[in-house]
Amino acid sequence: MILATTDKINGKELETLGLVKGSTVQTVNAIRDIGAGLKGLVGGELVKYNEMMGNARALATKRMVEDAEAMGADAIIGLRYTTSSIMQGAAEVLAYGTAVKFV
């Protein structure tokens, strides 16, 4: 599956199949959340939150690709990610784009 943030793929004619998306809500455990709170006092990178968000993006992308494969797509164009805070220490990641077929 080709994933592109652009609206076209050079050298390919595309037939639009429709919107595809994948999402997940992820959280870190309470102990790590307390540690992150302490880190907020002294500053620095929140490594466990970075890992959580990386895993969430990967899972959201996987679910979006599965959605596109179910439609018979060859690629996803206009790929975007969005995030939102659900509660303290939890975030939703949404991956979305347009499924296309090569013609």
pLDDT for residue 52 = 85
Number of Cβ atoms within 10 Å of the Cβ of 53: 17
Q: What is the pLDDT along the chain (103 residues), one digit of tens a residue?
A: 999 999 999 999 999 999 999 999 988 765 555 555 555 566 677 777 888 889 999 999 999 999 999 999 999 999 999 999 888 778 899 999 999 999 9
- Cβ atoms of residues 9 and 81 within 8 Å: no
Reported residue count of the chain is 103
Helix runs in 3-71, H state only: 30-42, 47-70
pLDDT for residue 91 = 86
> Which CATH number covers residue 45?
3.30.110.70
- Domain enclosing residue 64, as ranges: 2-102
- Cβ atoms of residues 20 and 96 within 8 Å: yes
Do strands 75-87 and 2-3 pair parallel, antiparallel, or not at all (unpaired)? parallel
Domain tally, the chain: 1
Coil/strand/helix, residue 29:
coil
